[in-house]
Every structure is written in C-alpha cells, then in structure tokens.
Amino acid sequence: FECVYREFSNYVKADPTEHTTNLENYIKIASSLILKERETRCPLSRHPDLRPPSVLISDGFRIVRMIDWQHCLTVRLFSQAGVLKNFRDYDGD
C-alpha cells in the first residue's frame, strides 16, 4: 500500500491478501469505468498553451496551424479530466 494509507491502520503492517483482494475487485469493475460512447473513447489532443500567439489564422479566419506543442498530449476524452483534488490531496492541504 502507499505510505499515506499506513496512517489509517495505525502503521501496523498490512496483510498482502487485503491488497490482492482490492486489486481483484478493481479488475471486476474496471471495464465499467470506461464510458461506452464512441465520442468519449476517440483520442483528442489537448494543447495547454492555447493562446493567440500559438494559433495561426488565415486571412479567411480559418485555423491554419497551431504551434508550441511541447506540453501537448493526445489521450481519450475521459482521460483528460484528471483526478479531482479531493482524491489527490491526502493531507488536506
């Protein structure tokens, strides 16, 4: 288990079978966590620095090119949401 979870068990060594059971239960529900709609499964590009200097526009007001791609990523739509802060912040800070 991750170190932050040891506090909940008063730092008593955890039984490995508990972790195995949790992983087996996760495997049972994992397919339900992925949305079935095709639109949410298609890969999309995320450009974190999308501002006017990064987008080149033609005289006809069409996007011709996007630049400054070093921090971009292409993942499925449901993967781009990230983890809610309440689930990331174990210490409450």
pTM of the model as a whole: 0.36
- 5 compared with 13, residue with greater pLDDT: 13
- Look at residues 8, 12, 72 and name the one whose alpha carbon lies nearest to residue 46: 72
Please give the structure tokens belonging to residue 82: 């990230």
Q: Decide: 32 and 64 in contact? Cβ < 8 Å.
A: no
pLDDT digit string, tens, across residues 33-71: 776 777 667 788 878 778 888 889 999 999 899 888 888
Q: What is the pLDDT of residue 16?
A: 83
78: Cβ contacts below 8 Å, ≥ 6 apart: 34, 35, 40, 41
Through-space distance between the first and last CA atoms of the chain, rounded to whole angstroms: 21
Q: What percent of the chain has pLDDT over 90?
A: 15
